[in-house]
Chain A
């Protein structure tokens, strides 16, 4: 089981209480699709992903980015049992969506960078550490049911 310090718990709750899902989610996903273009393989039916501008203004990308970010809510509410919480989603990503789990880390890195831009100086080294730890636990849980 993952040990969370009081600082980490408080930091994660605080971040998500202030986050604008409809801004951060789309920004993170579209950044991922631009910086790691091979991730576009999973979005063949999303229409125009031809360049960064197209990706940034694509409504399907925006909608999906928001969905993904809300997917972190369940970890937020179950920080002491993230492994089990993502069991079904892990199976979904493996069996149905066939997403290479390495991609979860790529999206996490982009999400971290988008959040850093949003929070500015408030995104201190400790806050970054707590956030990245949270994401790595979720990423690990999402990869667990792959076989």
Chain B
């Protein structure tokens, strides 16, 4: 299920379309994940407020999206490009990789809401593949 050049083109184009909305989309996706998959809250017990739209959620949504943007730029070599982030997630954060899927799904939901006509099945397919590849790259150093 590796990314074809067509997939990469679609992802890059869609990321360009998202542009400045990235932070808002990231915050929305993160807030949704915390609400819809409550087990994900266990990683943020140190936050004062985990509700959608709260300050920590907004801030962290921005951080996560910066990571996604970085991955889009390094789409030709995700494992290499995300090495440091993988080490962070593996040794420090130790996020169970199942949560990557939950966040990816919420991200897709927000894209569907934000781009109801442009988020076609073909775009959905390419982005879903990309997010899965991203998750795999992030899990590289886990064991």
The interface of chain A, by Cβ under 8 A from chain B, is 30-31, 34-35, 52, 55-56, 109, 112-114, 116-121, 123-126, 128-129, 132
Contact = CB atoms under 8 A, between A and B. Distances in A.
B133 interface: no
Given A35-B128, A128-B32, A56 B121 contact: yes
A50 B35 CA distance: 38
A53 to B, nearest CB: 9
B109 interface: yes
Interface residues of B, number: 20
B112 A116 contact: yes
15 contacts: A31-B124, A35-B124, A35-B125, A35-B128, A52-B121, A52-B122, A116-B113, A117-B113, A118-B116, A119-B113, A120-B113, A123-B109, A123-B113, A124-B52, A128-B35
B121 A31 contact: yes
Given A113-B108, A116-B112, A117-B119, A126 B35 contact: yes
Main secondary structure, interface of B, reads: helix
Contact of B35 (A112, A116, A118, A125): A125
A125 to B, nearest CB: 4
B55 interface: no
A56 B120 CA distance: 11
Contact of B124 (A34, A55, A118, A132): A34
Going nearest first, the 5 A-B pairs with the smallest beta carbon separation are: A34-B121, A117-B116, A125-B35, A117-B112, A116-B112
Given A109-B105, A112-B105, A117-B112, 6 more contacts: A30-B121, A34-B124, A52-B121, A113-B108, A120-B116, A123-B113
B113 A114 contact: no
A34 B122 contact: yes
A126 B110 CA distance: 14
Main secondary structure, interface of A, reads: helix
A34 B7 CA distance: 13
A118 B109 CA distance: 11
Contacts of B116: 117-118, 120
Interface string B117-141: 0011110110010000000000000
B36 interface: yes
Nearest to A129: B36
Contacts of A109: 105, 108
A51 to B, nearest CB: 9
B31 interface: yes
Interface string B77-107: 0000000000000000000000000000110
